[in-house]
Structures are given as C-alpha cells and as structure tokens.
Amino acid sequence: MEKKRVLIIDDEENMRYMLQLTLESEGYEVEAASNGMEGIKRVHSSHFDFVICDIKMPKVSGLDVLASVIESSPNIPVIMISAFGTIDTAIQAMKQGAYDYVMKPFKQDEILLTLKKAEERERLRLENQFLRQEVERKYRFENIIGKSSQMQEIFRKIEKITNYKSTVLVTGESGTGKELVAKAIHYAGNRKELPFVAVNCGAIPHELLESELFGHVKGAFTGAYTSKPGLILQAHRGTLFLDEIGELPLNLQVKLLRFLQESEIRKVGDTQTLTVDVRVIAATSKNLAKAVEQGAFREDLYYRLNVVPLYLPPLRERREDIALLVRHFLKKYTQELGKNITHIAPESMKVLLGYEWKGNIRELENILERAIVMTEGDTITTEYFPQELLQLPSQIIVNIPEPWISLKDVLKEITHITEKTLITRALKRTENNRTRAAQLLEISHRALMYKLKEYDLSSPEIP
C-alpha cells in the first residue's frame, strides 16, 4: 500500500523532530514546516493525506493555516496541537473545520490514535463516495441497454425530464425494466442525493396500504402503538416510485389524487396536514385507459399521472437489442460467478434471437444466468437452455381443399390467410395500437389501414 503523507507544522524544533520520528516509525511519510507560511506553501505545492498543526505560532497562526487548508484542500483532515492556555482556541478550530485537537503535553500513542481515527474516517468517506458513484453509474440512463430506435427515443425523453418534478407514467409488460427507468430518471437528475423510495402497490395488502403510504399516528387503529411517517414522507425532496399503480384500490386513488394536486398528506388518524415535496413516478403493466373505461381506475387520477408517458416496448418488438443484452448479462454474470465463459455458440444466439420472450428482459437475464452457472467450458451452448426455448414457433397451417389444383389460386389464398393472421397477431401484441402494429409488420400505416378494410378487421375481435 502507498504510504500516507503527513505534514507537521510547528515552530518548536523538538516537537517537529519527536512527531516526525514517531510517525515515520509507524510507516507514515512525513514532511515538516517550521512556521505557518511555510506550511501553507507546502500544502499548495504538494499532496498530503493529513496535516498536524500547532495552534499558537508567530505571524501566521494555526487558525490561519486551517482556513487556508480548508479553502484549498477541504478533504484533508487537520489535527490541531493545543497547549492548556489555548483550549478555547482549539474548540474554535473544531468549529471552523478541524478534525480534532490534541492537548500538550501528549503521549505518542495519543497522537497516533487520533491520526488512525482520522485515517478511518477518510477511508469511510472515500468508500461512501465510491458507492454513491457506483449507484449513479448503475442507474444512469446511458447504461440502460438498447440501440433500437424505440429505446433511443426513451433515452432522449429521460434526458429531457430528469430535472423536472412532472409526474411520469411508465408503462410496459412485466420484465421490461420499468423500475430501472424510474431509477435512471432519479439518479440522473437534481434529486439524486435525496431518497428514492419504491412501493409495489400490488404487494402490500390493501388494508395496510394507506398506512404504509401516508403514515399513521399513535393509536390510529388497533396495533398502532407508535407513530409512523409513511413512505411518501420518507421520499420528501426525493422521488416516490409507485410500481403497479393499477392495483391501487379506489378509496386510496382519491387520497393519492389529492396528494398529487396539493402536495399535502394527512396521516391516518391525524387532523393535521403536512406539506411534502416529492416527484412521483408511477408504473404499470396494465392498460390504465381500459381500466378507466371499466370503472376500475379514476379518470382524473389517470390524467394526473400521465403527464409524461413513457412506454417500454417488449423485447420481441426490439430484437436488435437482444444481442447487446446477451453480451451485457454474459459479462455481468461471468464476473459475479467467477466463470471463464467468453463465447456463445452461433446456434445458441440464433435461438435467443428467435424466441418470443414473454417475460422480456427479466426472462432473458434469468435464462442466461442459469446457462452460465451450468456451463463447464468457455462457450454457452443450447444444452442448458430450457426446453421451451428450443421449440419451434407456432406455424401458420393452411388446409387446401381437395378440388383445388391451381397453384396461383392456392398461393393467393395462403397469402391472404397469412396476412390476416399476422395482422391479427400484431394488433393483439400492441393492444390494438395500429401505429405500433404497422411498425411491427414493417409496413406503412396507410397500408395497414387498407388491409384492415380488405380483411374486415377495422374493428377486430382480438383473440
């Protein structure tokens, strides 16, 4: 390990010599300055991990040195040396940013213990800084995998909205990465240092959900032995992520709507309202517009949530991203599991590219993790893929009536049946969204409308 560098600043030669000898015997690299001005110059011209400085020195005092160090190098811990008569000054130095002070006369172990404590604090500071950077790196939207046009458009939207409080509604099938997108919005914005609180509205029993979200006061109900702040209050000045918002019961939808409109909450059993500053990101795999039509979701809450909509397409609609995701998960799990797997066989990649991925990215990740665990060589083969991955996709079957002989007529009939079947599938996958269906079919919207009329699918019954 690299030696820690310490600068000693003291106008007493014997004190400088004793400290230098003590610290060097403990493995520190030490430099010494005989006055405050010289000490300030050395701090500005070189790197030190710690500074030990006498308070009482002529011309440039220890407090002057402390102020200069804090201004130029605020992360360097400064330990002040104080005589009995300068105890008040030592306390003042602590208030101005000194790490600690040691009273003269002191034993060698005392200065070493103070220095070791400062060293441990600095280690923890750097560790926390590293962990924060890792969290930010992990969830930055640049690192959400996707080169497809759909994902690139999502990246552009995220970049625009990160610093605004506007409510975001993230929709998409299960496993498409809705929470990852919510975290990306939070950690890329100006609230990244503040809480990100995630709530799965479908995982908490309905009778407990109000208390979990809004909190309660002591005695509000049986079992409420203490007051509880609630998750909304915990997210104050940060971000609240409401996953599976479509599972929220109607009685709580009213209360949530009031919170979104007024930025106020009232705990269960309380008569006072509290003002909170929370950005809300909601997510759902349900069709909320349809839920509104069916009376299962409030229309006014839907519009209040849907200020900035983000739709995450299923993996089967952006197959050009599959190879990128495979390489990402291969790198991730080989490192985590300590495996030396460097390749994926061409037939394995072909299977992964052709599969429907009903479970989306989560399903792909789970299957690759299992294959990496089971693989013994350096190449992933189909041997450890689940059986459903290896089955051929369902075929379009055409029964040709016995009297038909004309190849031209048969091919025309097959074309019509195939087109109608594929259009129906595309409409089913996109929940009758014709724009996205046309994109899936790789035809123009105008062409799709013509074929809907031709095959009498203008108001299709999607199976």
64-90 pLDDT tens trace: 999 999 888 888 899 999 876 667 888
Q: Which CATH number fits domain 395-463: 1.20.120, 1.10.132, 3.40.1350, 1.10.10?
A: 1.10.10
In sequence order, the 6+-apart residues with CB closer than 8 A to the CB of 244 are 200, 201, 202, 203, 283, 284, 285, 286
Confidence of residue 256 (pLDDT cuts 50, 70, 90): very high
For the domain 141-313, what is the CATH code?
3.40.50.300
C-alpha 2: how far from chain center: 34
- Sign of torsion, CA 144 150 156 159? negative
Q: What are phi and psi of 198, to 5 degrees?
A: -105, 135
Which residue, among 87, 1, 8, has the nearest Cα to 42 in the 3D structure?
8
The topology (CATH level 3) of 5-132 is Rossmann fold (3.40.50)
Contact 353, 385 (CB under 8 A): no
The DSSP H or E segment spanning 90 is helix 87-95
Q: What is the pLDDT of residues 228-247, one digit of tens each?
A: 888 998 899 999 999 999 99
Put simply, whether the predicted model's pTM sits higher than 0.75 gets the answer no
Helix count and strand count (H, E) for the chain: 19, 14
**pLDDT at 41 (0 to 100):** 92
Look up residue 125 and give its two tokens: 């500071």
| Residue 66 near residue 53 (C-beta atoms within 8 A) | yes
Q: Give the closest residue to 37 by CA, choosing from 7, 61, 19, 17.
A: 61
- Residue 461: pLDDT over 50: no
What is residue 52's three-state secondary structure? strand
Terminal-to-terminal C-alpha distance of the chain:
67
Candidate CATH numbers 3.10.105.10, 1.10.8.60, 3.40.190.170, 4.10.520.10; the one for domain 316-390? 1.10.8.60
Q: How confident is the model at residue 125 (pLDDT cuts 50, 70, 90)?
A: confident
Measure the CA–CA gap between 142 and 126, rounded to whole angstroms: 25
Asked if pLDDT for residue 462 goes beyond 50, the answer is no
Which residues, including other chains, have CB under 8 Å from residue 303's CB and lie 6 or more apart? none
Name 89's Cβ contacts closer than 8 Å, sequence gap at least 6: 55, 56, 62, 63, 82
Domain residue ranges in the chain = 5-132, 141-313, 316-390, 395-463
> Is the fold of 5-132 the same as that of 141-313?
yes
pLDDT beyond 90 at 259:
yes
DSSP labels, 222-259:
TT--S-B--HHHHTTTSEEEEETGGGS-HHHHHHHHHH
* In contact, 74 and 41? CB cutoff 8 Å: no
Percentage with pLDDT > 90 across the chain: 44
pLDDT of residue 412: 58
24-30 average pLDDT score? 92
Residue 117 backbone dihedrals phi, psi, to 5 degrees? -65, -40
Q: What is the CA radius of gyration of the chain?
A: 33
Query: Rounded mean pLDDT of 36-45?
Result: 91
**Structure letter (DSSP) for residue 54:** E
Q: Are 197 and 234 in contact (CB under 8 A)?
A: yes
Which conformational region is residue 89 in: left (phi greater than 0), alpha (psi within -120 to 50 degrees), or beta?
A: alpha
The pLDDT value given to residue 463: 37
Give the rounded distance of the alpha carbon of 390 from its chain centre. 34
Residue of 106, 109, 90 lying closest to 98 (CA atoms): 90
Name which of 404, 178, 168, 407 is nearest 284 in CA terms.
178
Alpha helices (H) in 162-199, listed in sequence order: 178-187
Per-residue pLDDT of 359-415, as tens digits, reads: 999 999 999 999 999 998 899 999 889 888 887 554 445 555 555 555 555 555 556
pLDDT attached to residue 208: 86
